[in-house]
Every structure is written in C-alpha cells, then in structure tokens.
Amino acid sequence: IICCIKKIFSEKRYSIFFIRMIENLHMVSQKGMEISMKQYQIRSILIGCMLLCLTGCTANSEKKRDVLRVGVVLYTQDDPFINALTDCLKEDLAEYESDSLKVIMTVRDGKNDQKIQNEVVKEMLDAGCEILAVDLVDRTEPSNIIKMAKKENIPVIFFNREPVREDLMQWDKLYYVGCDAEQSGIMQGEIAAEYINSHSEVDKNKDGKIQYVLLEGEAGHQDAISRTEYSVKTLMKNDVMLEKLSYQLADWNRGQAENRMNRLISQYGKKIELVMSNNDEMALGAVEAYRKAGYAREDWPVIFGIDGLEEALEAVKAGEMQGSILNDRVDQAKEMAKMAVELFEGEDFEQESLKEGRYYFSEYQKVDGSNIDEYLNAEETISHSGM
C-alpha cells in the first residue's frame, strides 16, 4: 500500500485527482450536508479502490511490451519445403522476444489461388499486422498486395517466389528473400556430372549417352525455369552426352512426380539412366515409383534433387538418391526474422547490406555421398556453417 501511495504521489496527474477527491469529501461535510459515518466509509473505500486501479494501470503500462504482429501468407500450406522454412521463421522470431517485445506470427494459406491470397492479405492488414511476409501464388501478380500494404504503410517481405524487379521497385518498403536459382541449377549439374563421370555403370546400355528424364516444378516459377536450363547446360559443359527422354511438369509435388514416373517407367523400362528433378519432393516421388516398381537397385537410374529436405538426405545416405542441393531455409528464415524486427523497430535496419537495398540471396550448398553425414540431422548447423 505504501508503494502504491508513493507511486500515486510521484505522478502529478494522480495526486491532483486524489486531492480533488479529498476536497470534495471535505466540501460536502463543510456545506453541512449530513454524511453518515457509513456513507463516509463507503466513499473512502471507493476512492481507495479507484486509486488501486489507477496504480495497477500504471504498473501494467510500465510492463507493457511492444507487440509485433507478423502476417505470413503462403502460396499453399501443402509444400514441405515452404512449411519447413515457416517453422524456422517461427523459431527465429520467438528468439527476438524480450521484456519489451512480444512477437505474434500468424500463418495463413493462399490455397494456390492469387485471389484468395489477396483476400487473406487484406484480412491480415485489417487485423492490424505490422509486417507482412508473402510467398506469392503468382509471382507476376503482386500489385494488389502491394497496393493494399502501401495504403496501410505496412512493409512486405516477399520470399521464395520472386516478384519481377519493376514490381519490387514500386515502393521502398518491399523486399525479397530467396536464392539465386541459376546457382542451384549449375550446382546440380556439377554434382550429377561428377557422379556420372566417375561411375561408368550409370550408362547402363553403354551407348556413350545418358538417357534422362527431367521433373519440372511449375511453369513460370523462376526456380523451375533456371534449374531446368542450367542443370542440363552444366551437364553438357562437363562432357556428359545426354539424350532427352522426357520433361514432365509435376508442380513441385511428390505424388504428381510419382505418377509421371510410373508412366515413364512403363514406357521406357530400364532405359532411364538419370532423373534430374527441380526439387527433392519430386525426386522422392521418383524414388517411390522405383521402389514400387520393384526394380533391383542396379536397374534404378541415378536421381538428383534440390532443397536438402531431411527425407531426401536420408535417401542420399541410403543410396536411393545420389545428391541434392541445399536450399538454405535456415538462413532465409533467419534473415526474414531479422528484417521483420528491424523494420518494426525502425532503427537498425541495414538496407545497404541488401542487394539494391531490397534483395537478400542465400547461398546454395552441394550435398552428395562425399559430405552427406555433415548435413544429415544437422539442421541448426547448416546455415553459414562454412561447410
């Protein structure tokens, strides 16, 4: 109680309020209006309660933390790579929590439909989020989202699906976190060429050419386009003679890739010597198709993916896949969390450290039989571990 009273008198506005209350009581009794002892006691109790409330409020407001609400809107919630990245982001944002900052991250699904995603973004803005993180459904259609965010002055961190440059440059509070897709295509071509050039048994029919199938992510996606182009170019540049059997779009999806591969297996049988996949999920679909087809391991083609998902790394370890390229979700999430907090706090945001003040690109890393143990079950040490 003593503390409360000290508190009250240390705040001018409350001491004035208190004095007025006492004066009122005094005036009432001076005017000769009869106040019974009971009434007097009730009033005193009421005043006491009010004072306690006021001090309580003051104490609370002193403890009150800034609240950062981050609205994360995915293109779909059915993508294992994106979900793994989102989990990392949640952990990273939680690390910024302190006595003065509370972080609330809300994740919503764009359901693979740009119109739905736009509506979800609107709801997030209406609900009062301070920062938006958006993995666009259609990377060529960010204008509605940009317009809405700009109106509310809410920064947007786009990730994974890169908007075209003109869109990103429309407003100075738009950013992008992702990777340089060309690099992943080149690296995938390099590890595949290295493997093929040192394992003559890959060329099963000994015709001096590698009959191959390519599983493509999604039409128009920057990663699918560059990975397809550069993996094949790099194989050829590294003296691998190729014969294309088929390119199949499978939407980054394991089930679709498995179906496509089933068809190709029935069409080409053991003729397929190499499967290049734009991501690990589809590579795992190919693995599943070969498992179910019941082929002996020496009749399987060699299979390469991209992302470094845990299951794919296990497949590399088991010899069902020969390599993957780590798409560093840990690093990307770390950068997104840092950006979100710095943009919110407004002070330390190091815009100069970003490419053109807007872009952050993570480095891909090669994973194959030679270094698989360093990566398997080592998620926390993946990012910037210098491996």
Interface with ligand BGC (CB under 6 A): 79, 81-82, 160-161, 223, 252, 279, 281, 306-307, 327
User: Are 129 and 66 within 8 A, CB to CB?
Assistant: no
User: Are 336 and 133 within 8 A, CB to CB?
Assistant: yes
- Name the minimum Å distance from CB 189 to ligand BGC: 16
- Name the minimum Å distance from CB 221 to ligand BGC: 6
Smaller CB separation from ligand BGC, 77 or 262: 77
- Name the minimum Å distance from CB 141 to ligand BGC: 14
- Name the minimum Å distance from CB 282 to ligand BGC: 8
Smaller CB separation from ligand BGC, 210 or 306: 306
User: Are 83 and 77 within 8 A, CB to CB?
Assistant: yes
Helix and strand counts by DSSP (H, E) for the chain: 15, 12
- Name the minimum Å distance from CB 334 to ligand BGC: 17
Smaller CB separation from ligand BGC, 51 or 316: 316
- Name the minimum Å distance from CB 309 to ligand BGC: 8
- Name the minimum Å distance from CB 52 to ligand BGC: 55
Smaller CB separation from ligand BGC, 152 or 363: 363
Give me the amino acid identity at 122: K
The string of DSSP codes covering 310-377 is HHHHHHHHTTSS-EEEE--HHHHHHHHHHHHHHHHH-SS--GGGSBTTTEEEEPPEEEETTTHHHHTT
**Of 347, 351, 367, 370, whose CA–CA distance to 359 is shortest?**
351
Give me the amino acid identity at 356: E
User: Are 366 and 187 within 8 A, CB to CB?
Assistant: yes
Smaller CB separation from ligand BGC, 58 or 259: 259
- Helices 114-126 and 143-152, packing angle to 10 deg: 10
Smaller CB separation from ligand BGC, 82 or 148: 82
Output the 3-class SS for 249-261: ECCCCHHHHHHHH
Smaller CB separation from ligand BGC, 55 or 327: 327
**Of 142, 58, 145, 133, whose CA–CA distance to 103 is shortest?**
133
Smaller CB separation from ligand BGC, 178 or 211: 178
User: Are 280 and 312 within 8 A, CB to CB?
Assistant: yes
Residue 163 has what DSSP assignment? P
- Name the minimum Å distance from CB 67 to ligand BGC: 30
Smaller CB separation from ligand BGC, 182 or 342: 182
Tell me the CA distances in angstroms from 362 to 138, 143, 173, 177, 331, one per residue in order.
Answer: 22, 25, 20, 8, 7
- Name the minimum Å distance from CB 157 to ligand BGC: 15
